[in-house]
Amino acid sequence: MNHGITIALSKGRILEEALPLFAGAGIVPLEDPDQSRKLIIASSHPGLRFLIIRASDVPTYVTWGAADLGIAGKDVLMEQEGLDLYEPLDLKIGVCRMAVAEAADLAAHDAPQRWERVRIATKYPNITRRHFQARGVQTEIIKLYGSMELAPLVGLADRIVDLVSSGRTLRENGLVEVEQIAPISSRLVVNRAAMKRKLRPIETLIEALEAQVHP
Amino acid sequence: MKAQAPSAYPAWLLPSGFEDTLPARAEILETCRRGLLDLYAGWGYRQVIPPLVEHLESLLTGSAADLDLQTWKLVDQASGRLVGLRSDMTPQMARIDAQISADDETRRLCYAGTVLRARPDHLGGSRAPFQVGAELFGVAGPEADLEVLSLMVESLLHCRVGDLLLDLGHVGIAHALADAAGFHQDLRAELLRLLERKAWPDIRLWLDSKGCGTELMDDFATLLRAHGGLEVLERTQGQLGHHGAVRAALEQLLFIWTQLQQRYPQLQLQCDLAEVHGHQYHTGLLFSAYGPQQGAALASGGRYDGIGLAFGGSRPATGFSLDLKPILPPARAPGGVRTIWAPGGQGANLWQTITALRQQGQRVIQDFSAELAPADPSLVEEGYGSVLEKSGGKWHVRPLTSADITIEEDAE
């Protein structure tokens, strides 16, 4: 059996903020993932390697056991239904929030508690549906793949559900945040069978990362 | 004739999550199924064959209500009532046991058959697992759990699964802490869902929001970390032993652990006291087996006392089940039964000779298109092991590689 550990990571903000955590735990990729085109990158720790994949693919790789562990945003974990993973650690990176936003002039005289039916543009249809279902509000969801902020400006939707970090993109497009759905940060996720079969090395890794998050 | 409108789906397409089991695998599956049922018979477990379809209430009664989303439903056109296709045979066993057993009777049942899942258990999983399992009713002690657990190990060894890891747990421990915190019904269900993901950050927030005290918070933190070897059981005894129910659960686990180690010294044992995943209706000891490769458990089971209450008998119950398809061993090397090529036609004694060979357990295929055997190499290529041919007025089976075997006269 393979005793090595494979960790799935995605390029971009998560990678940028995760690498210092791994470095603190004594694990450094042998090549710069941002420069390299390799998808499998060895690390300074023998038997531990990184897979560089798309953020939304991380839970899939880990659920199937193609990677033993991964780092995935809570947004991705909440959006994909039927995932079967352990989520033992909040890495406190990629921190932002999932929120509902609307045009500032609508917000000026709007009261979210009186919403009855809303038309939402979002990249996160499942999170949106569950949120409004729990609130008892009928929703028409328009699934988009990017630039959600545009939708209310051109009348495609009256509101959006999206990740908000500093709120700058919203402001620059004349939108305001009117309701928070959930705080978001990146989680360490672990495949169920790997957690059992490779308990010692995975536990050690979790403890080392935890020490970085809560020094 | 009108031209058929092109369909969006080709006619050969199967619904997602379903597959054909073709001859090579079907033969292995059938051999394993028979072998397992024989194994169970040797332990006194008697086979039952429950129906594919039952009234929904019976399938989902009591603690099995979590199977709701897993169950395909349809309307019985004869009665207008809603019926479900079984998604798990264990609740059916509980119903059968409650119907046929007296209160203090011990009953051992086993089963093998396809179950249907409206949603696969895990990403990419089958929606038609071939479930095989055994259940022991009427015995409350850990000896009963040890018996079914041993039988589960034997089942996997029978299917030649090597390098087994057995994960032990006890749902009573999480329940004891939930009791101490005063979480019942919906709150407890919420907590168990969080435990399934081992999402400690979320659990801590959740406990906080429910006003859980520091001491219990620490107990939950201990529970989440209680994962490892025998030392974990001993350590947890010291840390959580002040909860009476936890102490009792740990004693059961220690008993099982010690006995298993004696019975199967080669088995790797591990405990995970916070594990509640995949154990929707269980009430006590839990166990799962992991192989070297798969990303999910190969077999699992545990204690589920009281599930039969709705059928009129609240009985102690413990058992296990597995999906046979993912653990089928690779085909054994050919060399067992080799096929004999036989000519077509109605030659004298040909039919009698073929019948005699088949009665001896040989596999004979008659080639209707030829009265004389094709060249040996082409027969070998087609997988034949020998040829039935006539020489000197008698039928002979000539192996394609070695010397002739003459058919005994009395075989006719």
In tens, the pLDDT along B293-316 reads 767 889 999 999 988 787 877 899
Span A38-57, average pLDDT: 92
Segment A186-198 shows an average pLDDT of: 94
What mean pLDDT is reported for chain B? 89
Q: Report the pLDDT value the prediction gives residue A189, as an integer from 0 to 100.
A: 97
Share of chain A above pLDDT 70, in %: 99
Chain B contact present for A157, CB below 8 A? no
| pLDDT digit string, tens, across residues B360-376 | 999 999 999 988 888 88
Do the chains contact at A65 and B201, CB–CB below 8 Å? no
Residues B88 and B114 occupy one common structural domain: yes
ipTM, two decimals, is 0.84
* Residue B410: band (very low, low, confident or very high) from pLDDT cuts 50, 70, 90: very low
User: Which member of B198, B292, B294 has the closest CB to residue A88?
Assistant: B198
Beta-carbon separation of B270 and A83 below 8 A: no
- pLDDT tens per residue across span A96-142: 999 999 999 998 888 888 888 999 999 999 999 999 999 999 999 99
In CATH terms, the fold of domain A5-94+185-213 is D-Maltodextrin-Binding Protein; domain 2 (3.40.190)
Average pLDDT (B28-42) is 96
Provide the CATH number for the domain around residue B34: 3.30.930.10
B130 & B189 share domain: no
Between B305 and B403, name the one with better pLDDT: B305
Residues B202 and B119 in one domain: no
Report the pLDDT averaged over residues A181-198: 94
Question: Do B110 and B148 lie in a common domain?
Answer: yes
Q: Do B75 and B134 fall within a single domain?
A: yes
The helix-helix angle for B142-158 and B23-42 (nearest 10°) equals 150
Nearest CB to B163: which of A1, A90, A199? A1
Signed CA dihedral, B16, B18, B23, B26: sign only: positive
Six token digits for residue B300:
């699992």
Q: Which residues contact A109 (CB under 8 A, 6 or more apart)?
A: none
Looking at the fold, whether B344 and B361 belong to one and the same domain comes out as: yes
Q: Is the pLDDT of residue B408 over 80?
A: no
What pLDDT does B411 receive? 39
* In chain A, domain spans: 5-94+185-213, 96-183
pLDDT category at A40 given cuts 50, 70, 90 is very high
Packing angle between helix B214-225 and helix B171-181, nearest 10 degrees? 170
Instruction: Look at the domain A96-183 and name its fold.
Output: D-Maltodextrin-Binding Protein; domain 2 (3.40.190)
Q: How many Å lie between the alpha carbon of B208 and the closest alpha carbon of chain A?
A: 16
pLDDT greater than 50 at residue B401 = yes
Contacts of range A143-152, beta carbons closer than 8 Å, 24 or more positions apart: A148/A121, A148/A122, A148/A123, A149/A101, A149/A173, A149/A175, A151/A121, A152/A101, A152/A102, A152/A103, A152/A106, A152/A121
A64/B124 touch (CB, cutoff 8 Å), yes or no: yes
Average pLDDT over residues A160-169: 94
For chain B, how many structural domains are there in total?
Answer: 3
Full domain range(s) for residue B295: 19-162+291-332
Tell me the β-bridge partners of B107.
B137
Element (H, E) at B256: helix B244-263
Number of A to B CB contacts under 8 A, please give it. Answer: 65
